[in-house]
Amino acid sequence: MDLCSPVVKTAYMQNQTQKCGAQLLFSSNMKRIRLDKSLTQENVAEGASLHPNYISSVERGERNISIGNIERIACALGVSMAELLTVPEKPRKPS
């Protein structure tokens, strides 16, 4: 994923939200990690002391999330902040 890619505007919302590559990378990593750990959005929200609706909108890439909330979500997921912002390696095919 190119973090410098152009901004995507979502037209379905009254106030359009701009999504950048970093937001989309963060949101996809967050959801992947949450599902890998069999956690619900409610579990993450409780662990991060954030509202479940906020967690849901972050996973959809609709929030320009603060560094403080990145840290809280990372702690709730049991991962580093960097893991949420790193392009995951593609699984290697067995030889």
In the chain, the percentage of residues whose pLDDT exceeds 90 is 67
> Span 47-54, mean pLDDT?
98
Nearest to 30 by CA among 64, 94, 67, 76: 76
Q: Write the class of the CATH domain 12-84.
A: mainly alpha
pLDDT at 17: 52
Q: Compute the chain's Rg from CA coordinates.
A: 14
pLDDT tens profile 58-93? 999 999 999 999 999 999 999 999 999 999 888 767
Q: Of 3-7, 20-24, 61-65, give the lowest mean pLDDT range.
A: 3-7
What b-and-e string marks burial along 18-54, b requiring 16 or more CB atoms within 10 Å of the CB?
ebbbbbbbbbbbbbebbeeeebebebbbebbebeeeb
